[in-house]
Structure 1
Amino acid sequence: MKRLLFLSAALALLFITAAWIEPTTQTKTLSASEVIAVDGDTIDHGDDRYRLVGFDAPETFRAQCEAERVLGLRAKDRLTKIIQTNGYVELEIEPKLDKYGRFLAIARAGGKQVGSILISEGLARRYSGGKRQSWCS
């Protein structure tokens, strides 16, 4: 009887502890032929949409000015080229979705973060959430 009580208490403690543990990130490698760049910081893979984190690229669909739309299309094209040139993209996926239902992920191609590449080329800027800066003068 004491053994049964001990096992029950141990199992209860295990379940309580497991509920407090933060979910971990998941890593996926996607073939370039299966990935579509929606814009400079968003990609689609099948039915899944990923918001690439750590940077912000100009909008293409809801641009606030022509300059933003043009730069956004350049960022989208460059993201596509980065992924296509490397043949794949590695995603480190966070265990939560953003407010639009997209997966949040850090993207790497050829061992480099794609956001860092786009930032270094003036096609994106660092971003960690909150109010976004305007791309229009």
Structure 2
Amino acid sequence: MLAALILAASLPIIACDTPAVHDGDTFRCDGERVRLFGVDAPEVKRGQTPAEPFAYEARDELIRLTRGHVACRMVETDRYGRFVGKCWSHATTDINAALIRSGFATEYRRYSKGVYRRAEQQAKEARRGQWGDPR
């Protein structure tokens, strides 16, 4: 347990004010591309590929959650060289969980291994976002 705490404390942290949000699970903070750990948001429109349902709602929710000061602790670096992190802000102590709880994103279980299971269950039970009435 102590070794895990020491390791967690030694992982890099980045911080910035009002990051530039790219989509529902990615933003730029202090010049670094940040991918939210354990979060899978619908893709926004890219070229001729249309946006997935709730893509812009997820992006707007991430913008709301990242207003003001934001900080992220690195979990890993992904295959695209992005900083993958667990983030917090003035709006919430856990941006990752809050975005999933909104119903506009889901838990990316392949990587998170169930860390955000409860947040996704809360979104389903409350019928928020994609768990609400079909469009």
Distance (Å, rounded) in 2 between the aligned partners of 1:66 and 1:120: 25
Q: Which of structure 1's runs of 4+ aligned residues deviate more than 3 A?
A: none
Q: 2:80: which partner in 1?
A: 100
- Secondary structure of 2:104's aligned partner: coil
The CA deviation string for residues 44-96 of structure 1, in whole angstroms up to 9 with x for no partner, is 12532111102111111459x7561x411111111111111xx11110113x4
Q: 2:96: which partner in 1?
A: 115
The question of whether the paired residues in 2 share the 8 Å contact of 1:53 and 1:128 is answered with: no
Structure 1 position 41, deviation (Å): 0.6
- Secondary structure of 1:129's aligned partner: helix
Report the TM-score when normalising by structure 2.
Answer: 0.64
Decide which structure has greater strand share: 1
Whichever of the two has the greater Rg, that structure is 1
Unaligned runs of 5+ in 2: 1-6, 112-129, 131-135
Distance (Å, rounded) in 2 between the aligned partners of 1:74 and 1:88: 21
Unaligned runs of 5+ in 1: 1-21
After TM superposition, list the pairs within 5 Å mapping 1:44-123 onto structure 2: 44-62=28-46, 68=52, 70-84=53-67, 87-94=68-75, 96-110=76-90, 111-123=92-104
Could you say which structure has the greater relative contact order, defined with CA pairs below 8 angstroms and 6 or more residues apart? 1
**What is the one-letter code of the residue matched to 2:33?**
R
- Secondary structure of 2:27's aligned partner: strand
